[in-house]
Chains A and B, each alone.
Chain A
Amino acid sequence: MYRLVDRRLNGKNKSAVNRQRFIRRYKGQIKKAVTDAIAGRSITDIDSGEKVSIPSKDISEPTIYHGQGGRRDIIHPGNHDFVPGDKIPRPRGGKGNGAGNKANNKGEGSDDFVFELSKEEFMEFFFEDLELPNLVKTKLATVYEKSKSRAGFTTAGVPSNINILRSMRSAQARRISLRNPYRKKIKEKEKELELLLRAVLKDDSAILLLEKEIEGLKRKRDAIPFLDTFDLRYNNRVDIQKPTTQAVMFCLMDISGSMDQKKKDMAKRFFILLYLFLNRNYEKIELVFISHHTIAKEVSEEDFFYSRETGGTVVSSALHLMIKIAKERYLEDEWNIYAAQASDGDNWHDDSPLCKKLLEEEIMPFVQYFAYVEITPQNHQSLWYEYEKVVSSYPNFAMQQLHDLADIYPVFRELFSKEKET
């Protein structure tokens, strides 16, 4: 053998670049798959990977080869009882051409090409339309880790945390204190020796004895280690706990007939974004879904996004219900309360001033943040103008009209920028 090489430690992600190329090239198809996936997923389940499938014919690499037809002889193995001259009806699916299964490799097969999008890639596609600032993107996408803080020194730890200055200082102290007794003794003995040496009558054996003794003492003194394990001092770090740990998010949505599925999907993105924000700030989040037309009710997420009802719209019904639920289940001093409301702007005319009143007098004092989006291409109606009045008095109230997905982020701009400061 020439040589045997262990390549296992070499980079294994040689194909990562090619994978990225593939994803870039089929961005359109993948994005559609991601959009479908978001519609099908629960809000709380948003940050995980996704299986994406693309029709094989879209990604085939064409080459020239023979198609069906013409005349051909094909050799097959495993004859049982055929004899020359036997006639057999032509099997369907092209076994006659001997390449039945190969068609797939060449791109004619109709099977889908399925692959897994990682969590990061999925989030990247999710954020794309929303036009989030990069800082916010990275913040939302990364898993939040508890922050660490310095807290003095310890005598045990990992080598990377050794504090050199402290360690050397304690080593020095130890050396001084341990050497001192020897030093004293050596000094005494040396004095004695000097006396003996100066004496007229030299007692050689006594001198020799003394010299040996001094030498022994010196050896003992020098044997004291420069640095010992118990001199070591380590930087100490402790986890810092977040003081607030639970939040509740109220999702309010108009489900009257005018809110079609497209509008609801847009609203869903809006709720997801708020959820993602809360998710990295609070350990525990509860979701409350309140849908309303003329009357409001608390529903499951499934019903919230997919049920439709007809009839008029009374927004205040939802606000009333939210107040009621908050008072019963989510005490203000235990929960951080966030609310997000989506509607197409329709409201029973006389109801709008009532909404404003409810917001200003009851809701705003106990919520951290209230975001309202109006998904409508038309002119605003009374509700918008009433809500505009609330904005002026409460900085933690945000509202925005949505034309497309890129409009969602500005609603939260305030929220995210506040978070940056802290």
Chain B
Amino acid sequence: MKNKPISETSEWTFDLIEQYDKEISRIAQNFRLDTYPNQIEVITAEQMMDAYSSVGMPVGYNHWSFGKQFMETEKKYRRGEMGLAYEIVINSNPCISYLMEENSMMMQALVIAHAAYGHNSFFKNNYLFKQWTSADAIIDYLVFAKDFVADCEKRYGEVAVEEILDSCHALMNYGVDRYKRPHPVSMKEEHARLKDREAYMQSQVNELWSTLPTLETEKEEKIVERFPLEPQENILYFIEKNAPLLESWQREIVRIVRKISQYFYPQKQTKVMNEGWATFWHYTILNQLYDEGLVTDGFMIEFLKSHSNVTYQPPFDAPHYNGINPYSLGFSMMSDIRRICENPTAEDTEWFPDLVNTDWIDSLDFAMKNFKDESFISQYLSPKVMRDLKLFSVLDNDKNRNIEISAIHNNEGYQQIRTLLADQYNLGSQEPNIQVYNVDIRGDRALTLRHEQYNRKPLASTVDEVMKHLTRLWGFTVRLETVTEDNKAEFTLEQKNNNEVSS
């Protein structure tokens, strides 16, 4: 062995963490990982549970649902039903990662490699994160949001604020811009703009709902124009700008929730890639440490044990099977790209002519930067990975009595499995497509939403409750129509505004 191991026991100290970080950082640089500066924070298990229950936001406004989450986590942890995730990392600049006090030295090194270099470089370079999130501004914005909500609680009462938040949370998935790019704003600007926005928004709304008769009324009635002209996919944005009865502070809260939703949107779309990337790098980096003789055999055995726990994919018939494990799929795919670059087979040459015999670091880097789960899978899922994971597809059509195996991991099936698996990560087809379709401006002000059905999939019954929440925000009747695949719109449900939202 060339080097002396950095440490021999499983105890960690701040000194050791810094030494490991130095080595890991050096190796990461050799592999050309481009990261935000790292801020590594050592916390206790309790603090980890706190971080957990605020969905990983380092600063969060107060809401009962976070309390519920906390109590659940605490209970499970105390009973030993679940270990705490070994890492939480925040997409911010500097990139904050948490190390738990209870972890062994090996675990701390693993988390540093995984989060502080793996996830960190992903946050900094993936196109979705670059487009949709601003790592420099997020902490400022969260602080602003927390203060604003706390201030509203003082002025308008906890209950009033909680009602708005409940309703916004119900629609959080529909608070996302899929095409427009928000630009970053610092806390100072945010404060300065808040006042302007309040006044401006209120005036806009007043204009829309102005009841003064206009001269061209008759002319207008002939051309039946819808409002909005185009269907709107960002329901919370539409509410924020157009709901007639909301007060300006309520609009600001709607905005806060939708902004946070937007911030997490890229994470939802890159679960497999992000975890796969981070797992690939912790594996590669720690192996490099071992090759250089910087860690002991014991360290490596402990590492491999937890690594294989994380990347284990239970088969579909295992009792604790819960869908495809993103760590496992992502890690397999990332490792496979490297393999294709370095040791291609005839099959790979046929499937990935562009990858074979290229520099693996460049090729992986390109994949990480320019894809999201859906496109990543449809581009890179190789026959070998499908065989290794023994993927097969099941067709479940409620018109048939039985479900049917439609493809398996063989020559005839590869293409179909790849397409279907990619679609499984397409939020557009996984989340029901519901958009704001029309507002009856001259009539009862009813808001009509349209659900474009996909593969005849119905909405779960919770939609009733969500519509009640939407009615609370909108203030008037809300209707939901379903557009079936043969393009017929049918009325689905109506929620009158009677201020009844069950809690």
Q: Which residues of A contact B (CB under 8 A)?
A: 1-8, 10, 12-15, 17-25, 59-80, 82-91, 95-102, 106-108, 113-116
Q: Point out the residues of chain A lying under 8 angstroms from B46, CB to CB.
A: 12-13
State whether A78 touches B43 (Cβ < 8 A).
no
Q: Point out the residues of chain B lying under 8 angstroms from A116, CB to CB.
A: 75
State whether B420 touches A25 (Cβ < 8 A).
no
For the complex, give the distance between the alpha carbons of A64 and B394 in Å.
24
Task: List the 3 closest A-B pairs by CB distance, nearest first.
Answer: A78-B315, A18-B67, A2-B37
For the complex, give the distance between the alpha carbons of A125 and B34 in Å.
55
Across the interface, A66 reaches (CB within 8 A) one of B67, B407, B460, namely: B460
For the complex, give the distance between the alpha carbons of A17 and B101 in Å.
24
State whether B47 touches A10 (Cβ < 8 A).
yes
Contact stretch, chosen from B185-193, B243-251, B291-299, B384-392: B384-392
Query: Is B318's beta carbon under 8 Å from chain A?
Result: yes
| CB-nearest residue of chain A to B453 | A70
Closest chain B CB from A109 CB (angstroms): 12
Closest chain B CB from A84 CB (angstroms): 6
Q: Point out the residues of chain A lying under 8 angstroms from B392, CB to CB.
A: 75-76, 79, 82
State whether A70 touches B455 (Cβ < 8 A).
yes
Q: Point out the residues of chain A lying under 8 angstroms from B397, CB to CB.
A: 70-72
Q: Point out the residues of chain A lying under 8 angstroms from B356, CB to CB.
A: none
For the complex, give the distance between the alpha carbons of A59 and B315 in Å.
33
For the complex, give the distance between the alpha carbons of A86 and B402 in Å.
10
Q: How many residues of B contact A (CB 8 A)?
A: 99
Query: Is B215's beta carbon under 8 Å from chain A?
Result: no
For the complex, give the distance between the alpha carbons of A59 and B406 in Å.
39
State whether B396 touches A74 (Cβ < 8 A).
yes
State whether B65 touches A61 (Cβ < 8 A).
yes
Contact with A along B426-447 (1 / 0, CB 8 A): 0000111010000000000000
Across the interface, B396 reaches (CB within 8 A) one of A4, A12, A64, A72, namely: A72
- Contact A4 to B18, CB < 8 A, known contacts A22-B68, A107-B462: yes
Q: Point out the residues of chain B lying under 8 angstroms from A21, CB to CB.
A: 62-64, 67, 158, 162
For the complex, give the distance between the alpha carbons of A68 and B457 in Å.
7
State whether A90 touches B402 (Cβ < 8 A).
yes
State whether B71 touches A69 (Cβ < 8 A).
no
Query: Is B6's beta carbon under 8 Å from chain A?
Result: no
State whether B395 touches A73 (Cβ < 8 A).
yes
Across the interface, A77 reaches (CB within 8 A) one of B50, B67, B324, B399, namely: B324
State whether B315 touches A77 (Cβ < 8 A).
yes
State whether A115 touches B432 (Cβ < 8 A).
no
State whether A22 touches B420 (Cβ < 8 A).
no
A–B Cβ pairs within 8 angstroms, 16 of them: A18-B66, A21-B162, A60-B462, A61-B166, A62-B465, A66-B458, A66-B459, A68-B458, A70-B397, A70-B398, A72-B457, A73-B393, A73-B396, A75-B391, A78-B389, A106-B460
State whether B402 touches A75 (Cβ < 8 A).
no
Question: Which of B70, B94, B166, B402 has most chain A Cβ within 10 Å?
Answer: B70
Closest chain B CB from A108 CB (angstroms): 7
Query: Is B322's beta carbon under 8 Å from chain A?
Result: yes
Closest chain B CB from A216 CB (angstroms): 51
State whether B424 touches A74 (Cβ < 8 A).
yes
Q: Point out the residues of chain A lying under 8 angstroms from B324, CB to CB.
A: 75-77
- Contact A69 to B456, CB < 8 A, known contacts A21-B63, A78-B317: yes
For the complex, give the distance between the alpha carbons of A61 and B466 in Å.
9
Query: Is B304's beta carbon under 8 Å from chain A?
Result: no
Q: Point out the residues of chain A lying under 8 angstroms from B116, CB to CB.
A: 1
For the complex, give the distance between the alpha carbons of A5 and B47 in Å.
14
| CB-nearest residue of chain B to A78 | B315
Q: In the complex, given contacts A6-B41, A64-B431, what are 14 additional A-B residue pairs having Cβ atoms less than 8 angstroms apart?
A: A1-B37, A3-B38, A13-B46, A18-B68, A25-B503, A62-B469, A64-B173, A71-B399, A71-B457, A72-B455, A77-B314, A78-B317, A79-B392, A108-B460
For the complex, give the distance between the alpha carbons of A73 and B170 in Å.
27
State whether A7 touches B42 (Cβ < 8 A).
yes
State whether A22 touches B40 (Cβ < 8 A).
no
Across the interface, B70 reaches (CB within 8 A) one of A15, A59, A96, namely: A15
- Contact A114 to B47, CB < 8 A, known contacts A2-B37, A73-B420, A102-B322: no
Query: Is B201's beta carbon under 8 Å from chain A?
Result: no
State whether A71 touches B396 (Cβ < 8 A).
yes
State whether B169 touches A61 (Cβ < 8 A).
yes
Q: Point out the residues of chain B lying under 8 angstroms from A108, CB to CB.
A: 460, 462
State whether B62 touches A1 (Cβ < 8 A).
no
For the complex, give the distance between the alpha carbons of A13 and B51 in Å.
11
Across the interface, A75 reaches (CB within 8 A) one of B47, B53, B424, B453, namely: B424
- Contact residues of B between 163 and 209, Cβ < 8 Å to A: 166, 169-170, 172-174
State whether B402 touches A19 (Cβ < 8 A).
no
Closest chain A CB from B262 CB (angstroms): 16
State whether B314 touches A78 (Cβ < 8 A).
yes
| CB-nearest residue of chain B to A116 | B75
Contact stretch, chosen from B137-145, B217-225, B281-289, B408-416: B408-416
For the complex, give the distance between the alpha carbons of A77 and B327 in Å.
14
Q: Point out the residues of chain A lying under 8 angstroms from B409, CB to CB.
A: 79
- Contact A22 to B316, CB < 8 A, known contacts A7-B42, A14-B50, A79-B390: no
Q: Point out the residues of chain A lying under 8 angstroms from B317, CB to CB.
A: 78, 80
Q: Point out the residues of chain B lying under 8 angstroms from A106, CB to CB.
A: 460, 462
Q: Point out the residues of chain B lying under 8 angstroms from A63, CB to CB.
A: 170, 172-173, 462, 466
| CB-nearest residue of chain B to A60 | B462
For the complex, give the distance between the alpha carbons of A406 and B35 in Å.
64
- Contact residues of B between 450 and 474, Cβ < 8 Å to A: 453-463, 465-466, 469
Query: Is B404's beta carbon under 8 Å from chain A?
Result: yes
Contact with A along B96-129 (1 / 0, CB 8 A): 0000010000000000000010000000000000
Closest chain B CB from A224 CB (angstroms): 45
Across the interface, A86 reaches (CB within 8 A) one of B323, B404, B434, B463, namely: B404
State whether A88 touches B403 (Cβ < 8 A).
yes
State whether A84 touches B463 (Cβ < 8 A).
no
Q: Point out the residues of chain B lying under 8 angstroms from A88, CB to CB.
A: 394, 402-405
State whether A90 touches B403 (Cβ < 8 A).
yes
Closest chain A CB from B168 CB (angstroms): 11
| CB-nearest residue of chain A to B36 | A2
Across the interface, A22 reaches (CB within 8 A) one of B39, B47, B71, B453, namely: B71
Closest chain A CB from B385 CB (angstroms): 10
